[in-house]
Structure 1
Amino acid sequence: MARNTSTETQIKNIVTPVIQAIFKSGKAIYIIIIAVVFYFGYQYFTQKKEDNVTFNSDLIEKEIKNVGKLIVTEGKFSEVVTYKDQQKYLMDLVSFEKKALIVANANVTIAYDLRQIKYNIDQEKKTITITYVPEPELKINQELQFYDINQSRFNPFGAEDYNKINQKVKEVITKKVEQSTLKSNAENRLLSELSKLLILTNTMGWTLEYNGNIIQKDSDFIKGLTP
């Protein structure tokens, strides 16, 4: 309201001497003065609007760059796995078994690389549309300790066995991660970063969209993130 009153006062201060000049001048002067007033008035109001739109767009892009970071959530997991393998010969009459008890300790990370976020800014509609959010990257770094190793001369442990053991342990750890809170913690950190954009757009009177949904609260992001 204060801004409007100030603007009206400025216009009145400009228009009043113009009107007075109209009565003291001829028709040509009248036309010139009116044209000048309209020109400068147009320049004043349109320039302010363009500056404001540019400022808002720059501010949004700056915040997106601030959000664009690598978010890493870490967890530690341990698991005990038993590995067995049996080789049979002579129509299964003779067999040679090998087995081992493995203790696996794993460092697990779930990462969102928000530097890969893609977006569009529509200045006219005051809308920012997030077109792509990267999928989480799961990494498992595991250390294996072998106990109670039993093997036969005819069925010894080899490189293929260790590859199978590594794969089996990774599958077990992955399942354990899915059942833990690590994934939800990583997702919460993602939402925390994306919510910064929501706060900014709401404050500026803009609209934030993602995956066909208008984002009005943090939980709306879940609709877009869920396949």
Structure 2
Amino acid sequence: MIDFAVFVVALGVGSIAAWQVFHWIYGKKLLSDKKENIRVEANILLEKIEQVFKVVLAEGYFTEIYDHNAKKDFWGLFKTTNKALIIVKAKVSVGYDFSKMKFRRDADTRRLIIEGFAPAEVLAVDTDYKFYDINQGFVNPMKHEDYNALLAEAKAMIKTKAEGSDLPVIAANQLQLMMRQLASSMKWELEMLPEAKEEI
């Protein structure tokens, strides 16, 4: 009787072991089949080409900690809170759009006269975002549009901070130096009218 019991237990353990081995081998085959069937498609559309003459003359690197905390009241019965902490790292490029420059040339005296110049502007904001401490309300979860709005707001704040920094002044100094060197290399004299200097 004991031999029969041992036989039954051994048979049960063997069956379980065989099932595990079969499952492990077959499971690996399924995973490998899935990996082989992965297909990636990308469609890149070129919508528009424009000719521009914009020159970057100063770059600044910013880090912003953006703390979002929004509460929503539901009919005065209860409130839900959406919280997110975003760390934004950005490279801001400041320079000039030369298509906005007003100038004239005096070939007789070999002078390039700058009559007007648009002020330095933010030409590009390259950002990298990381989300931390996301806490969503059960009734009012954050949607894809909410994330996009948060990122747009954080980017706008970086741009405003860059415009109020020393970057436009540095870009203006670089512009004058570049224009003078350019005119000098062609044996021309550069003249900036007072209005143009004020705009820069």
Match of 2:114 among 112, 119, 130: 130
The CA distance in 1 between the partners of 2:56 and 2:172, in whole Å, is: 10
Displacement of 1:159 in angstroms is 2.1
Q: CA RMSD in A?
A: 3.1
- Percent of residue pairs identical: 27
Match of 2:130 among 142, 145, 148: 145
The answer for unaligned runs of 5 or more in structure 1 is: 1-67, 213-220
Q: Please name the residue that 1:187 is paired with.
A: 172
The answer for unaligned runs of 5 or more in structure 2 is: 1-52
Contact 1:71 1:189 in 2 (8 A): no
Q: Please name the residue that 1:106 is paired with.
A: 90
Residue deviations 1:175-219 (CA, integer Å, cap 9, x gap): 322343222221111111123367689x87x6824365xxxxxxx
More helix by share: 1
Displacement of 1:167 in angstroms is 2.6
Residue deviations 1:40-89 (CA, integer Å, cap 9, x gap): xxxxxxxxxxxxxxxxxxxxxxxxxxxx8833322211010111222211
Secondary structure of 1:174 counterpart: helix
The CA distance in 2 between the partners of 1:87 and 1:80, in whole Å, is: 23
The CA distance in 1 between the partners of 2:82 and 2:58, in whole Å, is: 38
Secondary structure of 2:70 counterpart: strand
Q: Please name the residue that 1:165 is paired with.
A: 150
Q: Please name the residue that 1:22 is paired with.
A: none
Greater shift after overlay, 134-143 or 79-88?
Answer: 134-143
The letter of the residue matching 2:171 is A
Match of 2:191 among 208, 212, 220: 208
**What is the TM-score of this pair, normalised by structure 1?**
0.53
Contact 2:121 2:163 in 1 (8 A): no
Residue deviations 1:98-145 (CA, integer Å, cap 9, x gap): 101111111111122447644222346765432343543412121211
The letter of the residue matching 1:210 is L
Are 2:197 and 1:222 aligned? Answer: yes
Assess, with a 3 A threshold, how the Cα gap between structure 1 residues 192 and 223 changes in structure 2: closer, same or farther: same
Secondary structure of 1:83 counterpart: strand
Assess, with a 3 A threshold, how the Cα gap between structure 1 residues 207 and 157 changes in structure 2: closer, same or farther: closer
The CA distance in 1 between the partners of 2:110 and 2:58, in whole Å, is: 34
The CA distance in 2 between the partners of 1:118 and 1:192, in whole Å, is: 18
Assess, with a 3 A threshold, how the Cα gap between structure 1 residues 180 and 134 changes in structure 2: closer, same or farther: closer
Contact 2:56 2:93 in 1 (8 A): no
**What is the TM-score of this pair, normalised by structure 2?**
0.59
The CA distance in 2 between the partners of 1:150 and 1:108, in whole Å, is: 30
The CA distance in 2 between the partners of 1:135 and 1:197, in whole Å, is: 20
The CA distance in 2 between the partners of 1:196 and 1:99, in whole Å, is: 52
Displacement of 1:162 in angstroms is 1.4
The CA distance in 2 between the partners of 1:224 and 1:114, in whole Å, is: 13
Contact 2:180 2:190 in 1 (8 A): no
